[in-house]
Structure 1
Amino acid sequence: MTEKQYSLNNRPPSVAHLFLERVASTPDRIAFRYPVVTEGEGPDDWSHSWTWAQTAERVYAVAAGLMDLGIRPEDRVGIASATRVEWILADLGVMCAGAATTTVYAQTDAEETAYILSDSGSRVLFAEDAAQLAKVRERRSELPELSHVVVLDAADAVAAEGDPEGWVLSLDELSERGATYLEKNPDCVTETIAGLRGDQLATLIYTSGTTGRPKGVRLSQDTWSYMGLAVRQIDLIAEDDDQFLWLPLAHVFGKMLLSSHIVIGHVMSVDGRVDKIIDNLPVVRPTAMCSVPRIFERVYNGVANRAREAGGARYRIFTWAVGVAREYARTAQESYRRTGKESVPAGLALKHAVADRLVYRKLRAAFGGRLRGFVSGAAPLSPDIAYFFCGAGLPILEGYGLTESAAASAVNPWQGYRTGTIGKPLPGNEVRIAEDGEILMRGPGIMQGYHNQPEKTAEVLEPDGWFHTGDIGELSDDGYLRITDRKKDLFKTDGGKYVAPSEIEGQFKAVCPFVSAMVIVGAGRKFCSALIALDEAAIMSWAQQNEVPGTYAEVVAHERTRALIDGYVQELNGSLQRWQTVKKFQLLPRELDVEHGDLTPSLKLKRPVVEREFSGLIEEMYDPA
């Protein structure tokens, strides 16, 4: 098997090498499952799959098709699409042609899409559908190097007046060209892979900038072979797992999961429709799933509010079960830390068994009934929410990484996971804490630099390879990392006290079941204040139950809603230091989302954007009048 043939210090130059070995080793094992949308109501059809051999046949045709279009090693090829199995096919095809994938989020507007494709020098683009094709068609004059657009949805691969001849192709047409090219050059794919070097460019991922243009992060071929082998070494995912992949593959987290998938060889069930996650879970019945904190927050809020609506005994039972789960998880983790074995007092174990029958079992069933746990990354997760899931039998292994470090720099282990930390550094990754508390990293996962921006590279990457993460953290004696905040997000009040906003925001999410986002402000001010966005489904359900009329914006503006949220803010303040307490808050007239630019596509808060958008509300809170 692949994982037995290589070590981290003796790894192949690229994931393409590992892909060839995976196909040769387990050709008939299922590689991917994917849905076909069915007419009418009901779940989609998940009976469709590709084995590794079937995947390879498709991948080689795409790779050879790209070669027929003139693509050569390190040429850039863009992918503008939501997560779907064809995204993976395109990426593997680019990889086996020796080229470099440039990722573009499906939500990216035409202007920024054109910037990314132009800055990267992309020569071919895989566009998901007519909407993605329209973006580049609108800006074609700015993209002289873009010679072809390959459309994944065949029905949308339609040329328009003014398109150069052959500029638009369907994925099937590209594959047909590839099949013909392979007949003439049967060894073109394997020979290209054999010639790859580890230092060649494999991926350009553009960070979601909160100000200015995004930066293209250059990640080399052997970065991904290292990532795949490192994840395998820590047994994060097992060979017999069925992993549900919905994360945006334009994000480095998703790309890392594809690398480990090739090394480990497990089943990957793929569907990027976020609105279908809850429907998919009981059908797919995954054993592992990687996610981001917002999903866990939504699930927790949804369960809590359904219990609240039921009222009476059901709500009291749920509230009791939440407390038991948190106590159980904390006690078990502390026991493991001290003795190397999870154990809890008999009385707590009995209460936990009762709560399991009444509450936790139903929660696990909603996730398909087979999940052994989650991996969470991309943003901080409230410890109280994590403790609840862990105590309910759905442990969340928090991890950490940046685009510049190829996503996975540290992660908690299955045995000895420690809520509130991001676990231990991956094998081969060095970590140290600078004098000012910033986390520095060095290792095979660190980027080569920012594309076409040597001055920006020099700001974060030292000549000896140490990368400045921009995060403040602590490293325990036994090697667990904890993030306290982003260096640029820490602020001082005018009284000289430091405030870590994300820590306060995380606590509030565990206290208030109606919140979708909180943004703490107060840099240079006399006190801290907050912008609070409410979860629309949760607050509208509450409004209906409590006869508060109106639209979402009207409900949010109602005095009874404000009184409700004020109670939770006061509860939060009771756990904070005096200088951290939220003296005033404003309820936002809408939820924060990707479409308005408040969140990145991986649902990470764009703090400066939100503060600019709602600057008037902030100033009202500090108006002496």
Structure 2
Amino acid sequence: MHIDSSDLVLQRAYRWGSERGSAVYMTQPMGGGAVRDYTWSRTIDEARRMARHLQSLGFEKGSRIAIVSKNCAHFVLSELAIWMAGYVSVAIYPTVNAKTIRYIVEHSESKLLFVGKLDTWDELKQGVPEGLPCISYPLSPKNDFPMWDDIIAKTEPIAGNPTREPDEMALILYTSGSTGQPKGVEHTFRTITSSVKGGQEVFKFSPNDRVLSYLPLAHVFERLVVETISLYVGFRVYFAESLDTFVKDVQRARPTLFHSVPRLWVKFQQGVLAKMPQKKLNTLLRIPILSGIVKKKILTGLGLEQARMAVSGSAPIAPELIQWYRDLGLELLEGYAMSENFAYSHVSKPGKARVGYVGNTMPGVDCKISPEGEVLIKSPGNMTGYHREPELTKAAFTEDGYLKTGDRGELDSEGRLKITGRVKELFKTSKGKYVAPVPIENLINAHTHIEMSCVMGSGQPQPFALIMLSETLRKQLKGASDGSLRGEIEGAINDLVSRVNKEVEEWEQLQCIVIVQDEWAIENGFLTPTMKLKRDVVEKAYSGNIDTWYGKRKTVIWHD
């Protein structure tokens, strides 16, 4: 894919500032129902002023500048300023702990930290190295750092349109990681622009599109879909304020493009079914006169009635869930990629999607399956390497330049990819058989009672599954005064075990399902910032109970 300086996302941003200066680019909630609009002209002007300030601090070209913030307009403004000034951005998840923020700041050798919109600053600030310069956003928690608005008010904008070369480093993505220490994934302006340009070729985004930003901008999925594509194409970005205002935020944006992760698609579904049980919904969808009205009402309630494209990514999604949304008239497309290729690998294309498959390769991407079953990717978005980790970088690629994804997969006759699990997630039972947990978890997660599951059983005669019930059921159980609800749930889960065991091989059949009372969340370390299950954390938390569960010889067990 040919990329020159005029294609780069920074140059495209200058273009929108010149050609569409009065058009609103970003809408930022400020609290209390108020919002602040940032036109393209204002966006470029504020970024230029901050770039001049950063340069005045005397950092060498290519220095790393870190950002720790929830999604907000100033995250994008900061990244633009960093690029204009000749530096490299390092985004940090706002949900990390003090130890992790210290590790990333020190490992990246960041010279300055933008402190943004945060809920846990009192803990995070303990990990900020003493003496590190910091700059505060308007929505930041109270601190003594220089304020963004004060700096730009007294600083002249940087002159001209500073350009960056395609092969200059643009950003470092520190992986959230379900295991181990975060790794710094290096991307150049070429790799990020190749991903954006290829996405534009397939999906034909336009300046009239609208998107809601609410997944972490520190994650590659949001960084591509929201930030870099909007800078390239010029469409409008709305930011979510909080979980409590999410429905209002979606309805304000009325997005034409909507992306989410499997756990949230499940929550949206469960919210619908809490008001309209599946049996009633099925009946209404079979009535020609009512079917269209019901579909429109549900999608309007979700704020998605104007969505022309909906995508799920970051983790496997149950095929039944994709079909459920399609039955409502929303073609939910599944994407597959990773930080190491700037989210540029595979996607289900409109009209060509196959449920259960993550789609075909994007333009310029080549995919093959190794003899061991591992998915190997050669993408124009492939990273240049892991920051300061040459051995890890070497190990991440094959000798002929393909990225080792760590995922197991297979291709159909039309080149569509199906992910069948993680290479390292396979476990061996005491019978010597290998089990891939993800396909079994997809069967379990399709049940409307269940929000998440984790299949385990290394060294045991048969696998078993831990499940977290849906939010609705968890609330109902807390208010239940007798055991009748538990009895109903047990009956449904018993039936589920029977159905799952009919669809898998004998050695994959579940010994039991254990219902846990814990909520698996980002805050308690069970999930990554993008809501992927940390399998090792789950296994460690419950390992002491496994022998007791097997000893009970029951199909459904409550872990109270």
Which residue of structure 2 aligns with residue 149 of structure 1? 134
* SS of match in other structure, 2:146: strand
Q: Does 2:189 align with 1:221?
A: yes
Counterpart position of 1:607: 535
Match of 1:102 among 90, 105, 123: 90
How much does 1:156 deviate? 4.2
Kindly state the Cα deviation for residue 307 of structure 1 after the two structures are TM-superposed.
Answer: 2.5
Shift in Å, 1:624: 8.1
Q: 1:494 to 1:472 in 2, by over 3 A?
A: same
Aligned partners of 1:592 and 1:598 also within 8 Å? yes
How far the C-alpha of 1:469 sits from its partner, in A, is: 0.4
How much has 1:586 moved relative to structure 2? 1.6
Corresponding residue for residue 533 of structure 1: 468
| 2:67 corresponds to 1:79 | yes
How does 1:291-440 map onto structure 2 within 5 Å? 291-308=260-277, 316-320=279-283, 351=286, 353-354=288-289, 356-357=291-292, 359-368=294-303, 369-440=305-376
Q: Would the alpha carbon gap of residues 132 and 527 (structure 1) be closer, same or farther in structure 2, given more than 3 Å must change?
A: closer
CA distance in 2, matches of 1:125, 1:469: 31
| Number of the residue aligned with 1:329 | none
2:5 aligned with 1:36: no
User: Whole-Å Cα distance in 2 between the matches of residues 431 and 403 of structure 1?
Assistant: 16
Shift of 1:14: 3.7
Q: Distance in 2 between matches of 1:474 and 1:284?
A: 38
Which residue does the alignment assign to 1:175? Answer: 152
Q: Partner of 2:523 in structure 1?
A: 595
Counterpart position of 1:49: 37
Q: In the alignment, what sits opposite 1:210? A: 178
Question: Which residue of the partner structure matches residue 261 of structure 1?
Answer: 230
Name the SS of the counterpart of 2:503 in structure 1: coil
Q: Give the C-alpha shift of residue 133 in structure 1.
A: 5.4
RMSD over aligned Cα, in angstroms? 2.5
Aligned to 2:219: 251
In 1, distance between residues paired with 2:268 and 2:119? 31
User: Structure 1 residue 569: deviation in Å?
Assistant: 2.8
* CA deviation profile, 1:327-381 (whole Å, cap 9, x unmatched): xxxxxxxxxxxxxxxxxxxxxxxx3734624632221111332122311100011
CA–CA distance in 1 between the matches of 2:23 and 2:196?
19
1:470 to 396, 401, 406: 406
Change (3 A) 1:560 1:206: same
Q: Which residue of the partner structure matches residue 128 of structure 1?
A: 116
Change (3 A) 1:272 1:93: farther
The secondary structure found in structure 2 opposite 1:447 is coil
Quote the Cα distance in structure 2 between the aligned partners of 1:282 and 1:305: 20
**Unaligned ranges ≥5, structure 2:** 554-560
Q: How far has the Cα of 1:493 moved from its partner?
A: 2.5
Q: What is the letter of the counterpart of residue 153 of structure 1?
A: P
The amino acid across from 2:68 in the alignment is A
Q: Aligned letter for 1:435?
A: P
Contact in 2 for aligned 1:65/1:176 (Cα 8 Å): no
Aligned residue number for residue 18 of structure 1: 12
User: Alpha-carbon deviations, 1:197-229, whole Å to 9, x = none?
Assistant: 222221111112333321111111211111221
**Superposed displacement of residue 109, structure 1:** 0.7
Query: Which of 438, 441, 445 does residue 505 from structure 1 map onto?
Result: 441
- Over 3 Å counting, the alpha-carbon distance change for 1:487 and 1:143 in structure 2 is farther
Report if the CA contact (8 A) 1:154-1:172 is conserved. Answer: no
Structure 1's unaligned 5+ residue stretches are: 1-6, 39-43, 160-167, 309-314, 325-350, 550-554
Deviation for aligned residue 1:475: 2.1
Following superposition, the deviation at residue 559 of structure 1 comes to 5.6
Shift of 1:610: 0.7
Which one of 186, 205, 211 corresponds to residue 159 of structure 2?
186
Where 2:512 maps in the other structure, the secondary structure is: strand
SS at match of 2:536: helix
Amino acid at match of 1:28: S
Query: Is residue 482 from structure 1 mapped to residue 418 from structure 2 by the alignment?
Result: yes
Matched letter for residue 417 of structure 2: L
Determine the C-alpha separation between the residues in 2 that align with 1:461 and 1:352. 54
CA separation of 1:49 and 1:547: change in aligned 2, threshold 3 A: same
TM-score (norm 2): 0.91
CA positional deviation for 1:547: 4.7
| 4+ runs deviating over 6 angstroms | none
